[in-house]
Amino acid sequence: MPYLSEEEGQTASRFLFLSMAIVVLEQDIKTVENGSFKINEPYLELLRRMIHQARTERRGLRKTMDQKKMDVVFIQKNDTFSTYLFLARGYEEERRYFNPAIRKKVEHILNELMYDITTETTKPAPDFA
């Protein structure tokens, strides 16, 4: 029986997968920096902006979780599943995630971040014509 409300579960899950997405983005920055791109700065800028946006959102989620006395704790991982403990209002709820499903959720967040960054209304690109 789930002890967390739907909102608490969504907040904690978003925090968890957003944290994973940040780790992926940090690893991608290292890959681009050490890669054989001829011009890597645009890619690095995109990744840095995605990380900034993700950290900003995660900071807000952490504030909400702190106010509601919520936390997410890693328990274990095997070849198939990863297990996390969700804590809220004195209750504990163990959630197991299928590892390929985690990958899909993190990929979805990366797509969201990239879409948000690339569709921001900023200054128009210079016209070199």
Give Cβ neighbours of residue 120 (< 8 Å, ≥ 6 apart): none
pLDDT score, position 36: 85
pTM: 0.88
Label residue 69 left, alpha or beta by phi (over 0 means left) and psi (-120 to 50 means alpha). left
For 17-57, the pLDDT digits (tens) are: 999 999 999 999 999 999 888 899 999 999 999 999 999 99
Domain boundary assignment for the chain: 6-118
Residue pointed to by tokens 């959102």: 57
For 79-120, the pLDDT digits (tens) are: 999 999 999 988 999 999 999 999 999 999 999 999 999 997
Residue 49, number of CB atoms within 10 A of its CB:
17
> Does position 64 have pLDDT exceeding 70, yes or no?
yes
Give CA–CA dist 81/101, Å, rounded.
9
Residue 75's pLDDT band (cuts 50, 70, 90): very high
Alpha-helical regions (H) of 1-129: 6-34, 41-67, 99-118
Give CA–CA dist 22/17, Å, rounded.
9
